[in-house]
Amino acid sequence: MSPLPPLTIIPAHLQTVADYEQQSSQHLAESTWHYLQGGAMHELSVQENQIQFQDIRLIPRHLNDFSQSNTRVNLFGMDYPHPIFLAPIGHQALFHSQAEQATALAAELMQSNFVLSTLSNTHMEALNKENPYKWFQLYWQANREKSLALIQLAEQHNYKAIVITIDAPHTGIRDRERKIFFQLPNEMPHPHASVDLEIGNLAADEHPIFQGLMKVAPKWEDIEWLMGNTKLPVILKGVLHPADAKKAVECGISGLIVSNHGGRVLDTTIPPLIALQKIRAVVPVSYPLLLDGGIRRGSDIFKAIALGASAVLIGRPYIYGLATAGALGVAHVLKILKEEFEVTMALMGTTTLQEINHDFINQ
């Protein structure tokens, strides 16, 4: 069956992220659906990312005064009205003809930070320069000069931070994609970088991975060099080990995204929510830690903040909105999660993000 065209109005039955998930499957080609939903190997981490929230129990408090309450957060010198950001997702033309333009528009409207991927189909200069709710995500470009050139372009076009994704120097082994021979369309534009990095020819006795992609992967020295060449905050995405978190703090990295890439790179990683707690224990008290992976409800956002997150990112949920109804769908998904989060805060008796802490979790 060919996919349905995107909707132009939101029908009343779309009330949760799960509703959007179901609806969006009707608007996407089957191979695109598997690309979006899938992950590495057995996809245990994909599943566990959602289970990690379902396993946690809340302990509410009551009778607080809510007259001054809000969901505001301040990160890297900027105020955000809520802590729900949009994670970098490449190739968004797969999901809707307006691709990243639609996502950025919805993010701006909802004052949610959008992280534009290196592998976007939309050039970073095509997004509204005045919109302050945008960061750029860098996939290391095999050498320092090419990587820095992208960062400088982001600076010129008013992106407010650089997110360097460090957990995917090689693509994950995605059985699902391999089985259906998933390939990106040949004609798909990638204005910032080619999808495949150039690694040159290998000698017969060289390892195709170690002397291939891993040879051009970034190292700590490269990240430090980049930081020395930009004034923007640099955030590392994909950190799970507390020792890496400690090292990042020592190097002067501005913040971390605790993430397993939505379970798409390495299967059976530590759940990001557990990693978050281990990392929170070794970094300075107010050090920015963002969390992504598996967030589907406002109560998940509450749990992430209670366990040490400063803010969260969503990936697949906003793509469900994009595929269903373009910018309107993305904005609606954000609105749903924001409202669910506010209701959770109210029912938990917490009036600001600063009040949300471990005491509200039964562990």
| Sites for ligand FMN among residues 306-345 (CB under 6 A) | 314-316
Min dist. Cβ of residue 286 to ligand FMN (A):
23
Residue with smallest beta-carbon separation from ligand FMN: 315
| Sites for ligand FMN among residues 278-297 (CB under 6 A) | 292-295
Min dist. Cβ of residue 99 to ligand FMN (A):
12
Count of beta carbons in the 10 Å neighbourhood of residue 182:
14
**Beta partners for residue 291, in sequence order:** 258, 312
DSSP 94: G
Alpha carbon dihedral 29, 31, 37, 40, in 10-degree steps, equals -170
Residue 294, annotated as binding a ligand: yes
For the record, the structure tokens of 15 come out as 């009330």
Is 88 among the residues that bind ligand FMN (CB under 6 A)?
Answer: yes
Examine the residue annotation and report whether 261 is marked as an active-site residue of this protein: yes
* Residue whose C-alpha is closest to residue 312's, from 18, 20, 149, 83: 83
Please, which residue, 83 or 293, has the CB nearer to ligand FMN? 293
Q: What are phi and psi of 54, to 5 degrees?
A: -70, -25
Asked if residue 39 lies in contact with residue 259, where contact means CB atoms within 8 angstroms, the answer is no
Choose which of 137, 254, 299, 351 interacts with ligand FMN (CB under 6 A): 137
Choose which of 82, 237, 303, 338 interacts with ligand FMN (CB under 6 A): 237
3-state SS assignment for residue 102: helix
Choose which of 134, 174, 264, 303 interacts with ligand FMN (CB under 6 A): 264
Q: How far apart are CA 326 and CA 324, in angstroms?
A: 6
DSSP 201: P
Alpha carbon dihedral 14, 17, 20, 25, in 10-degree steps, equals -150
Choose which of 14, 28, 36, 311 interacts with ligand FMN (CB under 6 A): 36
Q: Which of 96, 261, 332, 358 is catalytic?
A: 261
Is 269 among the residues that bind ligand FMN (CB under 6 A)?
Answer: no
Q: Which residues are annotated as a binding site for glyoxylate?
A: 35, 139, 174, 261, 264
The catalytic site residues sit at 261
Q: Which residues bind ligand FMN (CB under 6 A)?
A: 36, 49, 87-90, 117, 119, 137, 165, 237, 259, 261-262, 264, 292-295, 314-316
